[in-house]
Amino acid sequence: MALAMASTALAAPAFAAPAAENYAAMGDSYASGVGTREYFDDSGDCKRSPKAYAQLWADSHDVSSFAFVACSGAVTDDVNSGQLDQLSADTTLVTISIGGNDIGFSSVIRDCLLGTDSSCDSAVSAGEEKARNELPGKLDTTYANIRQAAPNAKVVVVGYPRINEMGSCGIPGYTEAKRQRINEGADVLAEVIADRAAAAGFTYADTRDAFAGHGVCASDEWINGPSNPLIESFHPDVDGHAKAFLPVLNDITG
């Protein structure tokens, strides 16, 4: 009996180690790491950062290959024309942050900083209209292209945070009304992106709660306010990527 049991134990298959990921990180400046103020020299105007959540995830996981193709300023058309070629049937994980530039993120922020409460409201409303009426089709096309190019990958759509906190703020003219209106626009954008991600069978990573209390005008900001150089403005900093984006992504991927 003892010999039989020993033989059975010896014959039992060993558990296979988890396979290393073939990871591709796509999208715009929120994915590339603009706001962290440190960029890979060879990334040029795309401003891909060693402190971006995608690079942090790759550095802390078993990764066989890592294609970091997110690029500052990208819209959905840029993903479809210039980022998909890094995907294949071997890709096992894709993350993407996209859609903010399609609805005019930078112009909304500019109009709210420089204009009146009323002009800010109008700018956000225009962005919301694009989010509801134009962005869904663009996301559907982009997500379908990602699935076609990476048929075996888990795809995580990383959402945008609410940018602002209420209360006192040292930014001249950046009223609570403006900050609240921008946050409302961020909620509309999140709803649209989450809906289309679900329709595509992708996982939506909602980052709004992770950034709560750490937006622009907080005592401990994880999102830059107006900055020099200007491109760093209203983008998550190193803490935003390490303490908000990365934990949310880790909760989904393990």
Contact 92/19 with Cβ under 8 angstroms?
Answer: yes
Q: Distance between CA 124 and CA 109 in Å, rounded? A: 9
- Cis (ω within 30 of 0) for the bond into 226? no
Record the tokens describing residue 35, joined without a space. Answer: 């706001």
Record the tokens describing residue 160, joined without a space. Answer: 């945008």
For residue 64, give the DSSP letter.
Answer: E
Q: Could you give the angle at the alpha carbon of 102 between the alpha carbons of 210 and 97, nearest 5°? A: 35
- Closest residue by Cα to residue 239 from 199, 201, 210, 208: 210
Q: Distance between CA 75 and CA 51 in Å, rounded? A: 22
Buried/exposed 133-164: b ≥16 CB within 10 Å, e otherwise: eebbebbeebbebbbebbeebbbbbbbbbbbb
Q: Which residue has the tokens 């900083």?
A: 113
Helix (H, G, I), strand (E, B) or coil at 144: helix
Query: Cα 112 to chain center, whole Å?
Result: 23
Record the tokens describing residue 63, joined without a space. Answer: 């990764």
Q: Which positions are catalytic?
A: 29, 235
Bridge partners, residue 25, by sequence: 68, 95
